[in-house]
Structure formats: structure tokens, C-alpha cells
Structure 1
Amino acid sequence: MKALTWHGKRDVRVDEVPDPVVQEATDAIVRITSTAICGSDLHLYEVLGPYLTTGDILGHEPMGIVEEVGSAVTHIAPGDRVVVPFNISCGRCTMCAEGLQSQCETTQVREKGTGAALFGYTSLYGSVPGGQAEYLRVPQAHYGPIKVSPDGPDERYLFLSDILPTAWQAVQYAAVPEGGTLAVFGLGPVGQFAARIGVRLGHRVIGVDPVPERRAMAARHGVETIDPDRFDDVPAALIDLTAGSGAHGVIDAVGMEAHGGAGATAGKIAQTAAGLLPDRVAQKLIETAGVDRLTALHDAIGAVRRGGTVSISGVYGGQADPMPMMQLFDKQVQLRMGQCNVRRWIDDLLPFVEDPTDPLGVLDLTTHRLPMAEAPAGYKTFQEKADDCIKVVLTP
């Protein structure tokens, strides 16, 4: 089969690789019909290369048609249309029972001290072949895959694999009271959905992003937007917009490669240095030093009201990032974060995506749909935010 594989920093290629096969009774094989490039895939394209091996298959936002199932898989069958959550969870352990599928005790990558295994996301999360491919082996398929209607375009359901539940969890974690204000830093795909969910739940939503096309898309869905490049002090601007108090909840949907500010510059230097080192040395640097660009996170902390909540959905990778502890303590800020527990939120989200009025605008997110052969160009365009690119979906 053909699959998108990693070969080095900013070097991904479509290669011919062996077809996956059922290895365990709980496996399924899915023929992929659509698979997206996630913003966190760009961290693999730039920063997290030390945890990848040449030939690793990328991608963790897939859906398709079931081709084969193991003997223990009964809730789906060949011919079913399914969405595959990006985290691999068993549904039976204590963590899954508590709705923390991203911490699944069955698939935790204990040798790395990390949570549940993820599709296509480095040795930190199990080196499981990803979904930017013609076929995908799905472990724990007795629980993970979500059966969806055979009707309608893939984009109606595709984003249930990651970014839609990630956005829903981010808003839930932000704990905005009825009639309160939600600020969203970063209007990429997760930020777009988080902002729309906030509007749908009745909150005032302010989105922060330097890219005009992202602000315009958010504005179509009732989101107030600001360009952070217009302000020397972005938190002060948000505080001014909220009658001097700050937002009740703030979502950082940016993560480790934030744009702008002295913190971003220092983080970029550290990320570049890590990228120039041998993999084992670079891994040690990432695991012991502060290598993240923290502009968005620090601005989120500055913009939240006293007693408010900062919800972090953007991916961070540094172990020793500087944090404004005095400010956090003095303002009595709550922090909530973590990989999304996809299966926990599916019952909440299915009514929205199945609603023919498309209340969350799942059909108004994809800006680029490309054949798999053009996946390398898709990564480059998305990484550079060129050609008004907000979301790339690949068709194998």
C-alpha cells in the first residue's frame, strides 16, 4: 500500500509499504477514505523528529471502511463506515472507566513514562503506524472505532477522530460559567472548533490569531477576533475587552510552536538546537530542558480573570519550561490540560455532527483536499500557512 512516511525534518514522502494484517483478536483493518493533517503533525515535521525513525507512517485523524476484524471485535463488521480515535484505548481498565481514555492502562507506553498509545505519533507514544495511508491496522478495535452513518461526506464525521472532541474537552475544561467569556488563543482547526462550541454554548468568545484568514473563518461563526500583532500587550487588550477583569476561561490551542514574543524566540532557538543534535542527545535535551515557545501560554495566563481557568489543548514537549508561578498563584488560576479522551465525548458530539444544519460548521473547516500523492505539499502548505490553508484532508 501507499503511506505517508517520515524521512527527516520537513521531509515526508509517499512510499510503498507492506499492507497491515490482523495480529490480535482485538484488531481491525480499515481501508482509509479520508485522513487529515493535524496541527500536532507539524510538530513532527519540525520539532519532535528525534523520536521518529525513517519510514514511520504518520497520521492520527483517519476514517474509512472496515475490511477485516479479529475474532474479539463484535460492534463493527466488514463494510461498516468508522471513524478511528487518535488514542488507542481498551475501554476496560480503570482509566477508561473513569473517562480518561488517553491514560489507558492497557496501552500506556510505560518505557517512556507516557500515556495511551497514539496512532502515528513517535516512540513517545508507541511508534504505532498511523492513518495517512491506504489501510490502517487498528488495535483495541473492540472498543475504539466509532461506527457512523454510511451517508454524507466524510468531513461530517472525520473530525471526531481528534480535533472536534479535543476542542469540546478544551471548552469543558475551561469551565466558563453561563453568560461568561471564553478567550481562545490560536484559531487553527482546534481553536476554530473550540470557539464555535463556545458560541453554541452561549458564551461570549474572543479569538486571538495573527492570520487574517483564520480570523475571518472564526468571525463567520459569531466569534469576536483580535490580531495579536496589533498590540504590545495582548493580555491587557483582552482585559480591556472584558471590562477590566479578563476572560472567565482561556484556551491555549497553540502549543509548543507559538508565534511572536521573546519567549517564542528563545524557544525557537532551543528547538533549532535540538533539531541539529543527534537523536539521543536531542531527546535528552527535550526531556530535561525548556524547549517550548510559550508566548501563547503566558498570554493566556495573563488574560484569564482572577479565579479563572486556563485550558491547554496545544501540545507541549519541554520538561523545564519557565512558568510565571507568582502570577498563577496570586491570581488563583486553575490549569487543566491533557490529550483528549476521545471516546468520553462522542455521545455529546454525535448529535451535532448528525444535525443537517451543521451547527458546529464541520463542513466549513477544510480548505485543502488533496490526493495522498500530494501529501508532502500539503504538509508544506499547512506548515507555512500558505494559500489561506487552515485544514488539509488527504484522500488515499
Structure 2
Amino acid sequence: MASSDLPSRTVKPKHDESRTMKAIAWMGKKSVHVSDKPVPLITDPHDAIIKVTATAICGSDLHIFVNAMPGMTKGDILGHEFMGIVQEVGPEVTKFKPGDKVVACFDLGCGQCFYCKRGLWSCCQVTNPSKEQEAMYGDRTAGMHGYSAMTGAYEGGQAEYARVIFADVNLLKVPNDAADEKYLFLSDILPTAWHATELGEVSEGDTVAIWGAGPVGILAAHCAAARGAKRIIMVDNQTYRLDFATSKIPGLETVNFGEKKVMETLKEMTGGHGPDVAIEAVGFHYCKSWTHAIETALMLETDPSEMLNEMIVSVRKGGRISIVGVYAGFTNHFNIGAFMEKQLTMRGGQTPVQKYWHDLKTLIDKGVLDPTMVLTHTLPLDQGPEGYKIFNDKTDGCVKVVLKPQLMAAGA
């Protein structure tokens, strides 16, 4: 099937207006509500409808929560990390049937376009119709669940039911008797953490510095250790998150940038050279200086360059920089001179989940990787607004929140 023969990217999804479900909807800056929404229906022959059993709040969702991501509309259903039980499949779905337990990936590939055939699922040319993103970037990413119109405006999985397009490509079957938490994070954060180590070419004996002690940063440290990194250093300013990370990753070293200067400290820790690899697992809406706070407020830039510049000046000459924290647009004061003169390599990108998740499932099954280490809070779906608040505000020791629709339905 040629990409020109694929279903229209702009087809309007169908719903059963006679049935409603609970879903987490974005209502504006720092405002998400539990709303009644119509249940999605099969719209295209390649679709599947999933009854969601577990869904998570991702750090990327916080960019939406604080209204830092363009293209949101009041009432949009959030969530791109979810799994559940297949309820119905379209006539062209061949790999799944009702009753199968599946994980859905956040990035929506078609499986047939130029990019999907090369394993660049998150760059799919078919699933995202956004003209705005094409104007900004000169091209488009794949569509993504529960994000903005910039990524296709697909309904998310923080709901009782979700529609997954191109189900044969975008679902992964897991054992029906397994705990949801064992495999849920294959939807995004574990493949993203592994992708970070792939982009940084982390290998035996490397010293790896990771900016951000959130779920992706902690799992990136976990993956780096599995790949044989000699030293792993985590940079953050939240003491509780650094302490949590060190309790999960044996031998992890930390730098609290609220107490120490990052570049000087990393140089001291590495004999004056700096780490071999720097991984950015934070994203674009965090400003560390008044300069960038003012420039972003005045829309003179969309994304601060501070952490990227820290990585550029901290990493050793000839080092590698990996960016998996989300960036949206333009940045000022980028230290391109140091990047060029130090002969650095920088790579970034949204994770092609489908490229990694089969191998990562095997590593989970063998006990090499345990993504559940980041989970701190499990809440009913109808407590999703509280989950967003504690995750964003970094309170109650929150590192990762999972929401369970069935707990809500049971009145727990």
C-alpha cells in the first residue's frame, strides 16, 4: 500500500454520542478537569478501540498543563501513555483481537510511508496534518496521542476509552495476566530513556551526565547502567528527586544546581575533562535566569537555551549531546561557538517507540530493566487534576503518577 493510498490524515473521528466516558480534559493554564466525553468509535478500518486500564501523566503533559505548548483547545483530552484491553478492531486490523491486553505508543506511525519504513516512526509523514508545524519546522512529526493541534489533535488516553489509529503498527501485545505497571511505561518513557542513550551512543566505560531527575532522567540512568556506563551523574535542583534517584540507581552521583555551579562541578568530578555524554531530559518551559524568563514572556523566544549551553560547556571535547526533553520553537543565546569549536555531536528527536519496544519488553521480562522504579503515585482517574498539580508543583514526593479508570468506576 503506497502512502498516497492510506486513509486521510484529516478524517474526523466518530463517536457514540449516546454513551459517555470520563476523561481528563485541558481547560486552560494549570486547569484540567474530569469531563464527560462521548465514547470513540471505529472510524477507519485500521482502528482499534481500547478500554483503558492504566494511563500515566508524563513530564511532556506538564508543558501542556502550564500552557507552554501551542495549539491546544479547551476540552482536549490529554494523555499519551496508556494501555488497556482491546474492545473492537476495524476490518483491516490483523494482529489484534478483542480481549487482547495492549500498550499504545505515543507516536502514531502509518507503517508504510518513507519514514516509517526506515524505522523513523515518530517522523511519520501521514498521521499529522498540521500546517502550522510544517511552517515552523519545514516538515511535520508524526501524530501523537493527547497532544496539541501541532501533532494532529488526536484524543488522548487519560480516559476510559481511546481510539488508536493504525493499530497493527501502534499497539504492543502484552500478557493478559501481567500487572499494568510492568509494561505501561513502554508507551513512552522507557523507550524515550533508551532513545536518549542511543542518541548519545552510551557504551561501556562512559561517563554520562543527565540533566533532569524526573522519570525519563531516572530511567535514562537505568538504561545507561544497563549499557555499561562507568559513571552516571544526575543534575537537578530538587533534593527529594535526587535522593529518590540515588535510592534506585546504584552508584549514581548527583549535582544539585541550586547549591553548586554545574560546569565547574562536573569538570572537577571528571578530572577536568567533563563527561563523555550529556543527556537533556528536562524540556523547554523551565527558565533558570531572568533573561530567558523575560524573553519567553515577551515571546522573543519560545525555548530557553540555558541547559543546552550548560551541556555544551560541560561535556568533554569530542563529546556527545542527546536531547529528548521536548523543545517547541526558537531559542536565544545558543552557544554555537563552543559547540563547533569543541567538536561536539548533538542529536535529538521524539522517540520512535516502535523501534525499541519489543527489545525493551524482552529486557523487562529478563529483569534487566525495571521501569516501575519511577512510580510514586497511583490514583483513580477522577483524581487526575490532583495528580497534575502535585507532579507540576513537585510536592508529596511525586516522581511519576499513574491513573486507573477502574478505581474510579469502583468508587475507590
Normalising by structure 1, we get a TM-score of: 0.92
**1:272 deviation in Å?**
4.1
Partner of 1:115: 141
SS of the equivalent of 1:142 reads: helix
Partner of 1:379: 388
Describe the superposition over 1:126-166 as per-residue Cα deviations: whole angstroms up to 9, x where unpaired.
Answer: 11100100000111112110001112211110000000000
Structure 1 residue 327 corresponds to structure 2 residue 343: no
Taking the TM superposition and a 5 Å limit, the aligned residue runs for 1:72-221 are: 72-112=92-132, 113=134, 114-203=140-229, 204-220=231-247, 221=249
Partner of 1:339: 350
User: Unaligned regions of 5+ residues in structure 2, if any?
Assistant: 1-20, 135-139, 406-412
Which among 293, 307, 313 is matched to residue 296 of structure 1?
A: 307
Cα distance in 1 for partners of 2:193, 2:130 equals 27
| Change in CA separation of 1:49 and 1:193 when aligned onto 2, cut-off 3 Å | closer
Describe the superposition over 1:156-186 as per-residue Cα deviations: whole angstroms up to 9, x where unpaired.
Answer: 1000000000010000111234211111010
| Change in CA separation of 1:153 and 1:381 when aligned onto 2, cut-off 3 Å | same
Cα distance in 2 for partners of 1:160, 1:35 equals 12
Describe the superposition over 1:280-329 as per-residue Cα deviations: whole angstroms up to 9, x where unpaired.
Answer: xxxxx5xxx42223322211111111111110011112324331011101
Cα distance in 2 for partners of 1:214, 1:50 equals 29
Cα distance in 2 for partners of 1:195, 1:176 equals 10
Cα distance in 2 for partners of 1:272, 1:17 equals 34
Which among 1, 13, 16 is matched to residue 33 of structure 2?
A: 13
One-letter identity of the residue aligned with 2:48: A
| Change in CA separation of 1:342 and 1:149 when aligned onto 2, cut-off 3 Å | same
SS of the equivalent of 1:40 reads: helix
| Residues 275 and 315, structure 2, Cα contact 8 Å, conserved in 1 | yes
Cα distance in 2 for partners of 1:84, 1:43 equals 21
One-letter identity of the residue aligned with 2:40: P
Partner of 2:294: 269
SS of the equivalent of 1:230 reads: coil
SS of the equivalent of 1:206 reads: strand
| Change in CA separation of 1:147 and 1:318 when aligned onto 2, cut-off 3 Å | same
**1:270 deviation in Å?**
4.1
One-letter identity of the residue aligned with 1:101: W
Describe the superposition over 1:315-367 as per-residue Cα deviations: whole angstroms up to 9, x where unpaired.
Answer: 11232433101110110111100100000011220112223x4x333222111
SS of the equivalent of 1:66 reads: strand
Partner of 1:240: 268
**1:216 deviation in Å?**
1.8
| Change in CA separation of 1:306 and 1:341 when aligned onto 2, cut-off 3 Å | same
Partner of 2:62: 42
Which among 283, 295, 301 is matched to residue 255 of structure 1?
A: 283
One-letter identity of the residue aligned with 1:159: F
Structure 1 residue 54 corresponds to structure 2 residue 74: yes
Cα distance in 1 for partners of 2:115, 2:204 equals 30
One-letter identity of the residue aligned with 1:191: G
One-letter identity of the residue aligned with 1:99: G
| Residues 203 and 228, structure 2, Cα contact 8 Å, conserved in 1 | no
Describe the superposition over 1:243-289 as per-residue Cα deviations: whole angstroms up to 9, x where unpaired.
Answer: 111111100101113363x2xx333334445xxxxxxxxxxx5xxx4
Taking the TM superposition and a 5 Å limit, the aligned residue runs for 1:25-36 are: 25-36=45-56
One-letter identity of the residue aligned with 2:222: R
Cα distance in 1 for partners of 2:291, 2:47 equals 44
| Residues 27 and 140, structure 1, Cα contact 8 Å, conserved in 2 | yes
Aligned residues: 376
Cα distance in 2 for partners of 1:267, 1:58 equals 28
Cα distance in 2 for partners of 1:272, 1:11 equals 20
One-letter identity of the residue aligned with 1:229: G
Cα distance in 2 for partners of 1:132, 1:270 equals 33
SS of the equivalent of 1:7 reads: strand
Cα distance in 2 for partners of 1:32, 1:87 equals 17
| Residues 203 and 227, structure 2, Cα contact 8 Å, conserved in 1 | no
Between 1:304-313 and 1:346-355, the stretch displaced more is: 346-355
CA RMSD for the aligned pairs? 1.4
Cα distance in 2 for partners of 1:109, 1:225 equals 42
